[in-house]
Amino acid sequence: MLIPQIKKTGVLLAMTATAVLAQPSPQQPKMTQNPFLASYTTPHQTAPFDKIKNADYLPALKDGLAQGRKDVDAIVTSTAAPTFENTIVALERAGDLLGKVTSVLFNLNSAETTPDLQKIVKEASPLLSEYGNDITLNANLFARIKTVYEQRTKLKLDPESAMLLEKTYKRFSRNGANLDDKGKERLRAIDKELSQLSLQFGENVLNETNEYMMVVTDEKDLAGLPDFARDAAKATAKQKGKEGWVFTLQAPSYGPFMQYADNRELRKKLYMASNGRGFHGDKNDNSAIINKIVNLRYERANLLSYKTHADFVLEESMAGSRDKVQSFLDELVSYARPAAERQLVELTTYAKGHGFREDKLQAWDSGYYSEKLKKEKYDLDDETLKPYFKLENVLNGVFTIANKLYGVTFKERTDIPVYNPEVKTFDVFDKDGKFLAVFYGDYFPRAGKRSGAWMNDIQGQKIENGTNIRPHIVNVCNFTRPTDTKPSLLTFYEVTTLFHEFGHGLHGMLANGKYESLSGTSVPRDFVELPSQVMENWCYDPEALKLFAKHYQTGEVIPNELIEKIRASQNFMAGMANLRQLRLGLIDMYYHGQKPTGETISQVEGRVDSVANLFPHVDGVAISPAFSHIFAGGYSAGYYSYKWSEVLDADAFEFFKEKGGLENKAAAESFRKNVLEKGGSEKPMELYKKFRGREPSPKAMLRRSGLIL
């Protein structure tokens, strides 16, 4: 998953908020002590996390806002006629300090929060929203931009500069520049409230996740759990000062319990806790926040002359329209649901043959019996595979694959400041030895880190004054921790997650554009998942697996027999998995693709579940109140993009495999040149066609998922 943040362009593009680190510190008597206000002296001018204190953020941010306004004012008050350089490029370069501060603040807000830092983010968020609106609603600035835009056919710009001009103009026109004063005032109020609501939504989910723990004191209740899950729960109990074993809602704890625990009542208890987050009618309840967000987004879209929020968002997407996305999701449901129904019958029959006594499986039974059926059909489970996936080996493996494909190498450093001692840092070099990027890897769950996995940047890539400023890229995950007796051994799902986020990382690290706002992952939402999902495919490739899947005790390379089982089981319950993903996309579109209906969360989800959920309804749980992708992140009206990108990545990977896999240098070079390096400098379909030689076909994805022959 990619997390959007403020990009330094003088215009507020996007912002995320969840949680953050900072250390308590006394008020600093002199602004010169603020590390943001001086040039960094660290390696590659990386962020000096060891020197940044809580008291630094707001003063530096306010200085950044003032500097950004000054930069913009210089553009507006210029007596020179508007040109591409003195207006469009000048705006792109405006607000360096603001980008410097916010990139650190919002990265940490996701990875290592404290209550103090959450207060800082809450104070900063409306200031940033106001700043963004001050720029996009500046009539004189827009007049200069419009003048340049209307001359675009005469300017003879290169494709990247032409794209910057187009996106700059649209960013203003799509965000209120053409509104009257009353409309602009209302837009400001909406944006300010939305920024605060999204922050609160994310904090509520984080609070619910951190506050819950299921304490088990009777060892009989651990029946079925493999040693790695027991050891992790024992370590968590010790950490939290509890006797026995503690299970949490963090993925490395929650997932194995739902897969392996024989105690059905405890599986239900954990399921209800996870799927009830933000839905308990208490201080962390997100129901009212969802209602406000959905209505405000709809009002904002109408104010800007769009029928719905989805129409506004999708106008600039690869898909292009709400109707096309809805048709895409509906078509995939028509393939996935029949397959899911057959698989659920198979799973229910298996369960009844192994002691299940009820008519229908519940959601908390699915993972448990699926794991057993998978073991029986393929003689394969996480307990068998985990010894081959030591975290360090998997990380070295993804580095090696990146080297084989693109020639890049990684060298670990210990002198780059980090925001937590667990974070690893690496220099990244190109095949000619030239420095490419700094890579940060942050892999274990903590109380201050939100759940999930994502990529972000602390410094974006751009070319300025003839210098190619290289990016600082972050991968954040929540993997199984080492225990007293074993290193961090990953489930196969965690392996694919690491590869996925690393694919986003490569998109950032290999960026090679002129303008930061078009660089790296600054692409339409339904194109951004292509590099990440292409990387996942190598996890199923025998040649790639043998590079890193080695037994942590013996060093034995994963045997061919296990590789074949991994590949054979790739489509196991694929219909059900596809239907779950489509359900989320349909929920997103129901909220954002029409006028708000006033229905309750349960009613909304009930409508979607009638076509995209095969399990019985359960009171007290809902997906929406913890659906951070669309209510606290940047995926509103965009969650479909995961499936859209699957069409792209399956088609793309077939091209890699057609002509030699890891040795297909032509495919790798084309993918690097036309996708990874280009960012958003051209239309995504044009970039894809340059890479592949044609438009993508959905048949590769349907074949890979086993939904067609």
For 447, counting Cβ atoms within 10 Å of its Cβ (0-12 exposed, 13-18 middle, 19+ buried), the class is: middle
The pLDDT score that the predictor gives to residue 709 is 61
The pLDDT score that the predictor gives to residue 706 is 83
For 240, the enclosing helix (H) or strand (E) is helix 227-240
The pLDDT score that the predictor gives to residue 24 is 31
- DSSP reduced 3-state for 175: coil
- Say how far apart CA 666 and CA 478 lie, in whole Å: 35
- Say how far apart CA 364 and CA 257 lie, in whole Å: 10
The pLDDT score that the predictor gives to residue 1 is 58
- Say how far apart CA 112 and CA 449 lie, in whole Å: 5
- Say how far apart CA 525 and CA 143 lie, in whole Å: 29
End-to-end CA distance of the chain: 30
- Say how far apart CA 163 and CA 261 lie, in whole Å: 53
- The token duo for 435 is 């420095």
- Say how far apart CA 680 and CA 107 lie, in whole Å: 22
Tell me the torsion sign for CA atoms 674, 677, 683, 684: positive
Q: Do 310 and 683 contact (CB within 8 A), yes or no?
A: no
- Say how far apart CA 111 and CA 101 lie, in whole Å: 16
Neighbours of 313 (CB within 10 A): 25
Q: Active-site residues: which are they? A: 501
- Say how far apart CA 638 and CA 120 lie, in whole Å: 29
Q: Do 247 and 214 contact (CB within 8 A), yes or no?
A: yes
Residue written as tokens 């980090």? Answer: 418
Q: What is the pLDDT of residues 238-276, one digit of tens each?
A: 999 999 999 999 999 999 999 999 999 999 999 999 999
Nearest one of 84, 220, 100, 213 to 153, comparing CA atoms: 84
Q: Do 438 and 45 contact (CB within 8 A), yes or no?
A: no
DSSP string, 564-577: HHHHHTTTTTHHHH
For 152, counting Cβ atoms within 10 Å of its Cβ (0-12 exposed, 13-18 middle, 19+ buried), the class is: middle
Strands 409-413 and 214-216: unpaired
Residue written as tokens 């779950």? Answer: 580
Domains for the chain: give ranges and CATH numbers: 35-178 (1.20.1050.40), 212-276 (no CATH)
The pLDDT score that the predictor gives to residue 2 is 52
- DSSP reduced 3-state for 415: coil
Query: Mean pLDDT of residues grouped by 10 in the chain (709 residues)?
Result: 46 33 34 85 97 96 97 97 98 95 95 94 94 94 97 96 97 94 96 95 95 97 95 94 97 95 98 97 97 98 97 94 96 94 97 95 97 94 94 98 98 98 98 98 93 94 96 96 92 96 98 97 94 96 97 97 94 94 98 97 97 96 97 94 93 90 92 97 95 90 81
- DSSP reduced 3-state for 391: helix
Provide, for the chain, the percentages of residues in helix, strand and coil under a 3-state DSSP scheme, each rounded to the nearest 5: 60, 5, 35
The set of residues, in sequence order, having a beta carbon less than 8 Å from that of 231 and lying 6+ positions away, is: 483, 484, 485, 486
Whole-model pTM? 0.87
In degrees and rounded to multiples of 5, residue 283 shows phi and psi of -65, -20
The pLDDT score that the predictor gives to residue 32 is 55
For 122, the enclosing helix (H) or strand (E) is helix 115-136
- Say how far apart CA 232 and CA 255 lie, in whole Å: 12
The set of residues, in sequence order, having a beta carbon less than 8 Å from that of 422 and lying 6+ positions away, is: 442, 443, 444, 446
- Say how far apart CA 167 and CA 92 lie, in whole Å: 11
Residue ranges of alpha helices (H) inside 538-683 are: 542-548, 560-568, 574-592, 601-612, 628-631, 641-658, 665-671
- DSSP reduced 3-state for 215: strand
Q: Do 578 and 340 contact (CB within 8 A), yes or no?
A: yes
**DSSP for residue 633:** S
Q: Do 230 and 657 contact (CB within 8 A), yes or no?
A: no
- The token duo for 18 is 């969840």
Side-chain-side CA neighbours of 559 within 13 Å: the count stands at 6
Q: Indicate the length of the chain as a whole number.
A: 709
- Say how far apart CA 557 and CA 494 lie, in whole Å: 19
